[in-house]
Structures are given as C-alpha cells and as structure tokens.
C-alpha cells in the first residue's frame, strides 16, 4: 500500500550570519529528509523584523514540499534541522540562524500545545504571504476559506519586502 504524499508549505527565515546561505542550506536539509521532496521555492525576500526592534533584517522564503510524514514527524525533523544548524531557543521572536515553520499541511487543521496548523499568524504576515502567493495564490486557507491571494491583498500597507539579490 502506498501512502499518499501531502503538499506542505514551510516558512524559512534567518537574520543571523550568512542569511542567504542559511536559508539555502536548510532547503537542502529538508530535501534530504527521507520521505520529503522540495518541489518549489519562492524568491528569497529581504524583510523587516516584525514585533521587535533592534534586530537585523531577515531573509525569508516559502518552500513547497511533498511528504509522507505526519505533521508531528515533520515538525520533529524541522526542529532537528534548526538545532543542527545552531539555533538555540531562549526567548520568543529572538534573532535566529534559521527558523522553519509549517504554514500549511495539506488541508489539515491541528491545534495542540506543540503545533498549530495552519500557522496562526500566517494571515497577518507579509513576509510569509508574499512568498506564499508566488507559489500557491489560489490555495484555499482551510479555516478562513479564502485564497492566499485574497489574504495577501487584505494586508494593510506597512512593512516592506523586496527580493533579495546576491551581493557581488
């Protein structure tokens, strides 16, 4: 019997060290997970930190994967990648070498102490919605029943994002 692969969207961010390298390296690591395949990646955007001051800008993107993992198995693997890359969690919204968030996992709706899907702040974050709209503009949010494009269009004007270019 074959297990159907779920389509999952993961937010990727870094604001410490070589941000572009950190994002790209995490994508390679995700693609190496047994039962996971990276199928698309948005542009990498330069974004302002939200909710905090005094932090360096972020590199953010969204990656689409296909996986045979359960949401909790995938979370465990993503946390292991973060740890292996040097992420140490001491407080909420601190600077980080890498941050990997499950945004959407097929049509799953999960609310537990360890995992909430869809990501609870997805609809409010330009740095997530702008790259996600590149990959899946017509994807329906499983709780709000609106498209990703609609969520993006409803964002208030505010924090800016721009495609991050390689420094030469």
87-108 confidence digits (pLDDT tens): 877 766 677 889 999 999 999 9
Residue 101 designated active-site:
yes
* Domain carrying residue 27: 6-163
Beta strands in 15-127 (DSSP E): 36-41, 45-47, 58-67, 99-105, 110-111, 116-117
Domain presence at residue 1: no
Residue 168 has pLDDT above 80, yes or no: no
Domain presence at residue 149: yes
97 or 67: which carries more pLDDT confidence? 67
> Which candidate, 49, 65, 42, 58, places its Cα nearest to that of 130?
42
- Is residue 27 within 8 A of residue 65, CB to CB? The reply is no
Rounded mean pLDDT, 147-156: 94
User: Within a 10 A sphere around the Cβ of 129, how many other Cβ atoms?
Assistant: 22
Structural tokens at position 94? 């601190």
Residue 77 designated active-site:
no
Domain presence at residue 168: no
Average pLDDT, the chain: 89
Residue 87 designated active-site:
yes
Q: Which candidate in 24, 43, 77, 87 is catalytic? A: 87
Domain presence at residue 69: yes
139 or 48: which carries more pLDDT confidence? 139
- Is residue 57 within 8 A of residue 45, CB to CB? The reply is no
| CATH number for the domain harbouring residue 34 | 3.30.70.560
Q: How far is CA 27 from the centre of its chain?
A: 11
Q: Which candidate in 29, 77, 99, 123 is catalytic? A: 99
Q: Which candidate in 101, 123, 125, 126 is catalytic? A: 101
Residue 167 has pLDDT above 60, yes or no: no
Q: What pLDDT does 1 receive?
A: 42
Q: What percent of the chain has pLDDT over 90?
A: 71
pTM: 0.91
Task: Place 47 in a pLDDT band, splitting at 50, 70 and 90.
Answer: confident
Q: Which candidate in 96, 123, 125, 126 is catalytic? A: 96
Residue 96 designated active-site:
yes
Domain presence at residue 56: yes
**What domain count does the chain have?**
1
Residue 151 has pLDDT above 70, yes or no: yes
- Is residue 99 within 8 A of residue 12, CB to CB? The reply is yes
Rounded mean pLDDT, 12-33: 95
Domain presence at residue 137: yes
Domain presence at residue 116: yes
Task: Place 160 in a pLDDT band, splitting at 50, 70 and 90.
Answer: low
Domain presence at residue 94: yes
């Amino acid at each position: 019997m074959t297990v159907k692969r779920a389509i999952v969207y993961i937010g990727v961010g870094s604001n410490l060290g070589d941000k572009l390298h950190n994002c790209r390296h995490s994508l390679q690591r995700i693609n190496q997970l047994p039962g996971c395949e990276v199928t698309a990646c948005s542009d990498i955007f330069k974004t302002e930190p939200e909710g905090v001051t005094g932090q360096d800008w972020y590199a953010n993107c969204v990656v689409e994967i296909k996986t045979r993992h359960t949401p909790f198995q995938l979370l465990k693997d993503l946390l292991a990648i973060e740890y292996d890359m040097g992420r140490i969690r001491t407080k909420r919204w601190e600077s980080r070498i890498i941050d990997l968030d499950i945004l959407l996992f097929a049509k799953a709706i999960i609310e537990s102490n360890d995992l909430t899907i869809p990501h609870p702040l997805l609809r409010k974050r330009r740095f997530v919605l702008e790259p996600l709209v590149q990959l899946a503009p017509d994807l329906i949010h499983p709780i709000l029943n609106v498209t990703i494009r609609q969520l993006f269009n409803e964002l208030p004007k505010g924090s800016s994002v721009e495609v991050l270019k390689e420094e030469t």
